[in-house]
Every structure is written in C-alpha cells, then in structure tokens.
Amino acid sequence: MSFTNRPPWHKAPADLRAAVCGGEVVAARDVHGGMSPGPAAILTLANGDTVFAKAVSSAVSAGAPWLDAALLAADVVAAGHLDGPATARREALRLLADEPPEAARFVIAQAGMWRRNSTLPPHPGLPTHRAWQRARAAALEPLLADLLDWQR
C-alpha cells in the first residue's frame, strides 16, 4: 500500500491554518503518510501546547466523498480529545451524522482491522505498532456501539 504525499503545513491556506490551530503556531513538524491528501503536522503553539492538526477536504480527496469525515471521526475518538472520551464520541457522531451509511460502516471496519491486525506478529523495527492498533481499536468500542445502532 502506498501512502499519500502530503503538502507541508505552511502550504495550507492561512485562514485554514488559523482556524485549525486555535493559537499562534511557533513551530510545525510535518507528518507524512496516511490516506487523506491534506496537510498534517505536529504543531507547537505560542502558549507551549503541542497539538496534532490534520486538514482534509472533499475537494482534494481522491476517495469517496465521505471518506475524510469517516477517517477524522475515527481519529478523533482513537487519538483522544482534551475534554475526554464522551466529547470525542459526540464529535465523531456529529462528523458522521450527515454522511451516508457507508461512512459509519467504514469506521466499524477500520476498528475491526486495527483489532485483527493487533493480534499479528510485530513488524520488524516497529515494536509498538501492534499495541497502538490495539489501543485504537479499544478506544473506538463505545463509538462502535452507537454506529451499530445506526445500522439497524
């Protein structure tokens, strides 16, 4: 599988960078890889906070029009939210609310993939990857219950 080449954070439109960050950015370290084509970076804000920012748009996505919302919904829950897991789950549901059922099914399938892959032997040189997959799958479990209810 090949990953998308992401543009650097500084190439994102200024208004988008300002809206995503919530503060003055003093340093940005671009993150490469993944499936969505927008910029992604670890940002250091003027107040010392460090945040992960990922800018996605259906205008530049090569996949289904709902794919970015589904990926972001899974990331919001799996990576955690400053206001806790309940807020992360609400935000994920909000992101998926106006999307077709395929978006929720994708999140369910992604969680299943992470869970299954977490049981495989470790990748050479990536000793923590399976634990990362297991943690992401576990974090998504409460959201999966909500999404499975939507499918009924």
pLDDT band at 149 (very low <50, low <70, confident <90, very high): confident
Check residue 35 and give its pLDDT. 61
> What is the length of the chain?
152
The residues, any chain, with a CB within 8 Å of residue 16's CB and separated by 6 or more, are: 55
Q: Averaged over 106-131, what is the pLDDT? A: 92
Give the bridge partners for 28, in sequence order: 43
The dihedral built from the CA positions of residue 30, 116, 139 and 70, taken in this order, carries a sign that is positive
What pLDDT, in 10s, does the model give residues 75-115? 999 988 888 999 999 999 999 999 999 999 999 999 999 99
What pLDDT, in 10s, does the model give residues 31-83? 876 666 778 888 888 888 887 777 766 555 566 888 888 998 999 999 888 88
Domain residue ranges in the chain: 1-60, 64-152
Q: Averaged over 5-20, what is the pLDDT? A: 75
C-alpha to C-alpha distance for 16 and 10, rounded to whole angstroms? 10
Element (H, E) at 53: strand 50-54
C-alpha 83: how far from its chain's center? 17
| pLDDT value at 131 more than 60 | yes
For residue 37, the one-letter residue type is: P
pTM for the whole thing?
0.65
Check residue 1 and give its pLDDT. 43
Q: Are 78 and 118 in contact (CB under 8 A)?
A: no
Hey, what are 128's tokens? 């923590």
